[in-house]
Amino acid sequence: DAGITQSPRHKVTETGTPVTLRCHQTENHRYMYWYRQDPGHGLRLIHYSYGVKDTDKGEVSDGYSVSRSKTEDFLLTLESATSSQTSVYFCAISAMAGVGSYNEQFFGPGTRLTVL
Amino acid sequence: DAKTTQPPSMDCAEGRAANLPCNHSTISGNEYVYWYRQIHSQGPQYIIHGLKNNETNEMASLIITEDRKSSTLILPHATLRDTAVYYCIVRRGTYKYIFGTGTRLKVLA
């Protein structure tokens, strides 16, 4: 299995509090991604990174920010958590990207976040 | 933007071939088709990918139609451990996958 860890694995928090989720990889892959998974929606991309300090928005980025100061770490922050952000969050990594290129993504174990 | 359509659920008898269809009629000429599966609440797991030709690996076979508008994932001898949600994915733009809601495959004993 690809060396991807996520922390915490489970978290319960209250509305309005800040929350940071961490994704750590040991594969030295350039590309990293944050997804959320909700019933009836499959996985949806929140943000992605194509290098250190290089990030961009995905399809559901409102209310989330990310940072990548090192190749191995990609942080997802909910500045002020809301109940609609209750979800399972998955981090993924890939060695390559780009249309026309092979781009297998490896997924972490997920973080289950509950916002009360 | 490339988008996929899959049946929401399928059943398959253990030991039989499971054939999971996917429609991707808007796929562009240089976009790969990927298949992943998700068992319980684990992270999705890569199965196979293809561009134009049929592909086979130790897990599955991928059949892509000549016009590339649809594909079929084949699990040749399904086992109970193959019960999972299977996602057919094409890439949107440079980095973005569109996962969709997948097909929930139940392998029956």
Looking at beta carbons, which residues of chain A come within 8 Å of B95?
31, 33, 48, 50, 56, 97
| % of chain A beyond a pLDDT of 70 | 92
Could you give the CA distance from residue A75 to residue A111 in angstroms, rounded to a whole number? 12
SS (H, E, C) A20-76: EEEEEECCCCCEEEEEEEECCCEEEEEEEEEECCEEEECCCCCCEEEEEEECCEEEE
| Span A58-109, pLDDT tens digits | 889 999 999 999 999 999 999 999 999 999 999 999 887 655 556 788 999 9
Predicted pLDDT of residue A101: 58
Q: Do B44 and A43 touch (CB under 8 A)?
A: yes
Of residues B16 and A98, the one with the higher pLDDT is B16
Is the CB of B32 inside 8 Å of chain A's CB atoms? yes
| % of chain B beyond a pLDDT of 70 | 94
Looking at beta carbons, which residues of chain A come within 8 Å of B34?
103-104
Predicted pLDDT of residue A20: 98
Q: Is the dihedral of CA B12, B14, B17, B22 positive or negative?
A: positive
Encoded amino acid at B55, one letter: E
Q: Kindly report the CA angle at B86 between A108 and B103, in degrees rounded to 5?
A: 135
| Span B57-96, pLDDT tens digits | 999 999 999 999 999 999 999 999 999 999 998 876 566 6
- For residue B102, give Cα distances in angstroms to A5, A7, A36: 25, 27, 15
Whether B53 contacts B46, CB under 8 Å: no
> For residue A53, with 0-12 CB atoms within 10 Å meaning exposed, 13-18 middle and 19 or more buried, which class applies?
exposed
Predicted pLDDT of residue A2: 65
* A33, pLDDT greater than 80: yes
